[in-house]
């Protein structure tokens, strides 16, 4: 007859020498790293990648010689001024369209699936913004290369501040695109980002040097603060109309729009998933 006992088996000699490995890190402040990596890679596979590169390039080639004949800037020439503006525009257009594509996820029912995951609203919004910002790297790089080939001249600080600032500004418009994608239907969203960003670019002093009433209005738009920060090392706050921009106001402008768009996106995500 077999007798079953609950006496634990003594560990073998190898058990005392075993090494416990630390758990593999799979989350970054509440964001699954595999999900973050997927979002960072996905924009690079989008079919509209060529369009996001071609349009800023065409605009730059059409406008970089159109500056005032007496354009004198502390840190460089008008071609560099235009190059930075086109870099900001290309960065904004690419990141907005990438983030707005979330409307397709909402239409397909993916947003309902998000209710079942532990991912927080803040984590989801930040992950989507980070993914959309990767889309803006290439337009900024193309603008910089075209500027280098067409005679854009400036100090090293003006180049670095312009390109890095143009890319960093994509966070604002990634949040905007995310909010638009969550607020509108998929069939409507595909037409909205391009129109919105182009209008904001004109008001934000990106394509044509503004003055008077238009410049005053433009100072309150989302694109103006981002462009002013990116161009600061080039212009020192000076404008072609003899006005002077405030760096402090530009930072406040950019920060307020970023926070406002991010909160709008978070609110729309909460309504889309039924979370509170």
pTM: 0.80
Whether 260 has a pLDDT exceeding 80, the answer reads: yes
**237 three-state secondary structure:** coil
Tracing tokens 């990106």 back to the chain, one arrives at 206
**What would the pLDDT profile of 140-164 be if each residue is shown by its tens digit?**
999 999 999 998 999 999 999 999 9
Question: Can you state the angle between helices 222-230 and 192-203, rounded to 10 degrees?
Answer: 60
Tracing tokens 């239907």 back to the chain, one arrives at 185
Confidence grade of residue 276 (pLDDT, cut at 50, 70, 90): very low
**What would the pLDDT profile of 103-123 be if each residue is shown by its tens digit?**
777 766 666 666 666 667 777
Residue 229 neighbours by CB under 8 Å, 6+ apart: 161, 165, 169, 247, 250, 251, 254
Confidence grade of residue 271 (pLDDT, cut at 50, 70, 90): confident
27 strand-pairing partners: 32
**What would the pLDDT profile of 37-79 be if each residue is shown by its tens digit?**
555 555 555 556 677 788 899 999 999 888 775 667 889 989 9
Q: Taking Cα atoms as reference points, which of 233, 226, 215 lies closest to residue 258?
A: 226
pLDDT, position 126: 80
Candidate from 103-107, 143-147, 220-224, 243-247 with smallest mean pLDDT: 103-107
Confidence grade of residue 184 (pLDDT, cut at 50, 70, 90): confident
b/e 29-43 (16+ beta carbons within 10 angstroms → b): eebbeebbeebbeeb
pLDDT, position 111: 64
Mean confidence (pLDDT) of the chain: 79
Q: Determine the Cα–Cα distance for residues 160 and 166; give it in Å rounded to an integer.
A: 10
Cβ burial, residue 114 (10 Å; 0-12/13-18/19+): middle
Confidence grade of residue 31 (pLDDT, cut at 50, 70, 90): low
């Amino acid at each position: 007859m077999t007798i079953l006992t609950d006496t634990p088996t003594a560990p073998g000699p190898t058990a005392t020498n075993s090494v416990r490995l630390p758990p593999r890190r799979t989350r970054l402040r509440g964001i699954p790293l595999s999900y973050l990596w997927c979002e960072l890679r996905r924009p690079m596979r989008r079919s509209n990648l060529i369009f996001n590169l071609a349009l800023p390039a065409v605009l730059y080639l059409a406008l970089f010689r159109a500056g005032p004949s007496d354009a004198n800037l502390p840190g460089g020439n008008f071609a560099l001024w235009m190059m930075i503006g086109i870099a900001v525009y290309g960065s904004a257009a690419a990141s907005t369209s990438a983030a707005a594509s979330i409307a397709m996820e909402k239409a397909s029912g993916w947003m309902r699936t998000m209710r079942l995951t532990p991912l927080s609203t803040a984590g989801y919004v930040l992950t989507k913004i980070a993914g959309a910002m990767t889309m803006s790297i290439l337009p900024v790089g193309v603008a910089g290369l075209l500027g280098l080939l067409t005679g854009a001249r400036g100090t090293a600080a003006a180049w670095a501040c312009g390109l890095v600032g143009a890319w960093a500004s994509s966070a604002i418009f990634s949040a905007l695109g995310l909010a638009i994608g969550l607020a509108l239907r998929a069939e409507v969203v595909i037409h909205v980002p391009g129109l919105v960003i182009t209008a904001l670019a004109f008001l934000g002093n990106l394509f044509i040097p503004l003055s008077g009433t238009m410049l005053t209005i433009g100072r309150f738009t989302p694109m103006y603060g981002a462009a002013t920060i990116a161009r600061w090392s080039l212009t020192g706050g000076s404008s072609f109309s003899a006005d002077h921009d405030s760096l402090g106001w530009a930072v406040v402008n950019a920060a307020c729009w970023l926070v406002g768009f991010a909160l709008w996106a978070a609110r729309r995500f909460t309504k889309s998933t039924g979370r509170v």
